Structure 1
Amino acid sequence: MSAEHLGEPATRTIAAWPGSQAAWRRARASLAGGVSTGLRASMPPHPLFFDRGAGSRLWDVDGNSYLDYVLGWGPIIVGHSHPAVVTAVGEQLHRGQTFGSGHALEYEVAERLCARVPGAQRVLWSNTGSEAVQVALRLARAHTGRHRFVKFEGHYHGWTDQVLVSYRNLAEDGRPALGSAGQHPGVLADVSVLPFNDSAAVAELLARPDSDIAAVLVEPVLCNTGVLPPAPGFLEDLRALCDRTGTVLVFDEVITGLRMASGGAAERYGVTPDLTVLAKALAGGFSLSAVTGRADIVQQVTSGVVHAGTYNGNPIALAAAAATLDLLGGPEVYPRLEAVTAQLAEGLRAAFARHGVTAAVHHVGPVLQVSPGVTEVRTVREVLAADWAFYNELVVQALRRGVFLLPGGRWYLSTEHSAADVTQTVAALDDALDALSRAGAVPVPATVV
């Protein structure tokens, strides 16, 4: 392996990012905020601009290399620029970019999803998770003749008006809260927001004759806010309650799908929803999403439910998906992802302990969460109460030592992250914590509201 791919020593320090700063100044003259999605503007100390990626690493426009735990905010499940994905996409490019009609990859990849995702009898192709969630809710309403839906505190189902409710802004009295300026307040009438892992609250709501609930929409593992697993029996309770009341159970597996197991969280926890939303890991970095599930619900797109999109079933994205599914098909893939992530979690816990820094570190599959200022996180409110100002300082110190992290404590791992990468990462974080300790920075103990 070349020295370039081995990277520089974990204790190296990057003083500044002049190329990224110049690029960001230029971008702000034409791009809103200088970024293509507002969330990227929150990356401390400022958005970086990258030139290329390979495997578990990125290189920025200043020539610095990083071990990448952002992974494009999740899609890069098989690493950057995997040769198999690049080859598949390159071959498809010579055949055509889009046809406005059918092609073999549409059904070939759909067949493979039906074979591996529990409950998947039919597939609808779309382009983003936000779009696919809207399709799932429309299908549920058409199937039940009802209009409202249940979501849970801290769960993220996309940026559209209908579902961007009570994500990070939780009302103290439990009422639904809008997530954005300009959002139509009328959407609050269509949603009931409940605490995650509270089966009794769901049962009480669904038992009401006037609840009008078409769907229960849930991240089976709450990856977007704290990587919180379902409590024992919670998903089973949702399944039983939805069966009893004729309500559609929708798993938002935008993050967990193809990541927590070959068949996603539904396979990992042994609970089959009526509909599953897939995206992120589905196409190895290309824009593709899907709604899968019961044939009688999904088939409604042929009998009155409108599901449209110029780029639906795009052959380039589906070529990438086929290659990604091949790479995720081996029996060793998911045990290895689990083992490498467990190694990282153990190393990070030890590093925090060495510096006397209170932090909770846990993972579910290859998604890891670090929450400073707390010893354990079990609820969304405990996650939100952690010391995120301290964590942002840690992100910058890690960045200076060649480790690229998301704000909010979530880390993604890919099939390309190795034990050696983990060793280097832990050494870099240990050095970053040392720098913060010498500067007198310590996390503030959490106060849960």
Structure 2
Amino acid sequence: MLIESWPASEAAWARAKKSLAGGVSTGMRASMKPHPLFFSSASGPRMTDLDGNTYLDHVLGWGPVILGHGHPGLTEAVASRISLGATYGAGHALEYEAAERVVAAIPGVERVLWSNTGSEANQVALRLARAATGRKRFAKMLGHYHGWSDTFLLGYRPDSAGSVESLGSAGQLDSALSDVSLVPFGDLDAAAAVLKNQESDIAAVFVEPVLCNSGVIAPPEGYLAGLRELCDATDTVLVFDEVITGFRLAYGGAVERYGVQPDLVVLAKAIAGGYPVSAIAGRASLLEQVTSGVVHAGTYNGNPVVLAATVATLEALGADGIYPAFEARGQELATGMRSAIAASGVLGAVNQIGPVVQVLFGTGDGSTLDQFFAGDQVFYDRLIVHLLRRGVFALPGGRWYLSTAHTADDVATTVQAFAEALSATVGDGPGPA
């Protein structure tokens, strides 16, 4: 039976807007179609909304819920900590026990700093790089996302005039653009032109090793290694933003998968299975600067409850067979979606790396940032409403996540719903051709 409407969620949103700005706790949720949904519970790969509808969840908290909802080991670890106190304002064993797991997992990592969000962690990484190099500016790749701060929300999405080399928010200072060099992803020549120009004053290069935020686009062959060589030649700090890829593409993240070691790795999302924690990990000489002048503060850094979740999540992800299963489920989902798109006759593409999938319509093969920006989001927004009606919860923008709780049967169910929803969307009216 198709879901026709969501009256309880609509009522909850109307009530929320009277006290909560926009009716949502993060602006991203306001873009959910047909309107933000409100949920009452979740278990494994499924969530239940206020109207009692149950969905296969491919949003997964926008990525963090890598073990599925209510994972027994994770839930037990958190529950056992809560009665022992929420936070201490002092050291505790979980700080180093969790850090030891990160050091053991990611090649080249020697030290860890705990923080709370990816936005915070990237700010800390830049401060460390500036302190180490004595330089002020940084380079980032067009379309890459490193958080919502004034410093980093640049060159992420086209502005109203179609320029990507722009600020990302109202209220952001124009001067933020003076601190950054924006470089096309995959273009080593462009990166070299910036890094080898001493007047650029570049302290660090920030890059999503896989461009997950804008199309799930893999790095070209040799690109990450080329960035490593350029940074070595120019004494520039190389930072992998692995907020999405960390502990998702492999236990050692993109560092393990692609065999290139950055100086710093920024982690969040999957590292704690849905609990709010982030980390900056990497070379001891950079991170130990917090003992000699670099300020790294935060009342909630190293919170014992979230680090209990971190230890439990990393223990679960370290089990045999996790990442081969992720790859298999991701390929099954992508293959099924490609077949459905081919049968529908619409123009579309599907990218997949591990348990992350991107769907694009009205574009080419989806291999470039320009194609991602050119994708038909209006058509996709219509599609995700038809998916909701069939019990599948998907993100706006086209990115899909899988958790360890998703089975082959769950993927098959999702593919069937995708095919039916795609047919219904095409039936609604003109779409990509």
User: Taking structure 1 as the reference length, what is the TM-score of the superposition?
Assistant: 0.95
The 1:179–1:356 alpha-carbon spacing in structure 2 relative to 1, beyond 3 Å, is same
* AA in 2 matched with 1:338: E
* AA in 2 matched with 1:29: K
Q: Is the 8 A contact 2:209 2:224 kept in 1?
A: yes
Partners of 1:172 and 1:260 in 2: CA distance: 35
Q: Is the 8 A contact 1:74 1:412 kept in 2?
A: yes
Partners of 1:35 and 1:347 in 2: CA distance: 33
Give the match's secondary structure for 1:282: helix
Q: Is the 8 A contact 2:156 2:164 kept in 1?
A: no
Deviation of 1:174 after TM superposition, in Å, equals 7.0
Deviation of 1:176 after TM superposition, in Å, equals 3.1
Match in the other structure for 2:414 = 425
Equivalent residue for 2:39, pick from 24, 31, 50? 50
Query: Is 1:341 equivalent to 2:341 in the alignment?
Result: no
Equivalent residue for 1:163, pick from 126, 139, 152? 152
Structure 1 gaps of 5+ residues are: 1-11
Identical amino acids, percent of aligned pairs: 60
Match in the other structure for 2:25 = 36
* AA in 1 matched with 2:171: G
Partners of 1:60 and 1:172 in 2: CA distance: 38
Match in the other structure for 1:8 = none
Q: Summarize the alignment of residues 77-96 of structure 1 with structure 2, pairs less than 5 Å apart.
A: 77-96=66-85
Q: Is the 8 A contact 1:156 1:224 kept in 2?
A: yes
Give the match's secondary structure for 2:75: helix
Cα deviation, 1:101-123, whole Å, max 9, x if unaligned, reads 00000001101100011221000
Q: Summarize the alignment of residues 103-114 of structure 1 with structure 2, pairs less than 5 Å apart.
A: 103-114=92-103
Match in the other structure for 2:252 = 263
Deviation of 1:20 after TM superposition, in Å, equals 0.0
Equivalent residue for 1:293, pick from 282, 292, 298? 282
* AA in 2 matched with 1:374: T
Partners of 2:96 and 2:308 in 1: CA distance: 12
Partners of 2:238 and 2:162 in 1: CA distance: 26
The 1:48–1:245 alpha-carbon spacing in structure 2 relative to 1, beyond 3 Å, is same
Equivalent residue for 1:303, pick from 265, 281, 292? 292
Match in the other structure for 1:247 = 236
Partners of 1:203 and 1:210 in 2: CA distance: 13
Cα deviation, 1:150-203, whole Å, max 9, x if unaligned, reads 001100000000000010126989773100000011111100001000000011
Equivalent residue for 2:188, pick from 193, 199, 207? 199
Give the match's secondary structure for 2:200: coil
Q: Is the 8 A contact 2:158 2:166 kept in 1?
A: yes
Equivalent residue for 1:363, pick from 326, 338, 352? 352
* AA in 1 matched with 2:16: A
Q: Summarize the alignment of residues 69-218 of structure 1 with structure 2, pairs less than 5 Å apart.
A: 69-169=58-158, 176-218=165-207
Deviation of 1:140 after TM superposition, in Å, equals 0.2
Give the match's secondary structure for 1:210: helix
Q: Is the 8 A contact 1:174 1:193 kept in 2?
A: no
Equivalent residue for 1:313, pick from 302, 312, 324? 302
Q: Is the 8 A contact 2:157 2:164 kept in 1?
A: no
Partners of 2:191 and 2:226 in 1: CA distance: 9
Q: Is the 8 A contact 2:351 2:359 kept in 1?
A: yes
Partners of 1:441 and 1:68 in 2: CA distance: 28
Partners of 2:164 and 2:248 in 1: CA distance: 32
* AA in 2 matched with 1:100: G
Deviation of 1:440 after TM superposition, in Å, equals 2.7
Query: Is 1:67 equivalent to 2:56 in the alignment?
Result: yes
* AA in 1 matched with 2:280: V
Structure 2 gaps of 5+ residues are: none
* AA in 1 matched with 2:148: W
The alignment yields a C-alpha RMSD, in angstroms, of: 1.2
* AA in 1 matched with 2:413: Q
* AA in 1 matched with 2:12: A
Partners of 2:195 and 2:269 in 1: CA distance: 31
User: Taking structure 2 as the reference length, what is the TM-score of the superposition?
Assistant: 0.98
Give the match's secondary structure for 2:260: coil
Query: Is 1:386 equivalent to 2:348 in the alignment?
Result: no
Query: Is 1:231 equivalent to 2:220 in the alignment?
Result: yes
Match in the other structure for 1:3 = none
* AA in 2 matched with 1:414: S
Partners of 2:4 and 2:247 in 1: CA distance: 38
- The number of equivalent residue pairs is 433
Cα deviation, 1:79-138, whole Å, max 9, x if unaligned, reads 011111110000001211100000000001101100011221000000000000000000
Deviation of 1:352 after TM superposition, in Å, equals 1.3
Match in the other structure for 1:332 = 321
Q: Is the 8 A contact 1:176 1:192 kept in 2?
A: no
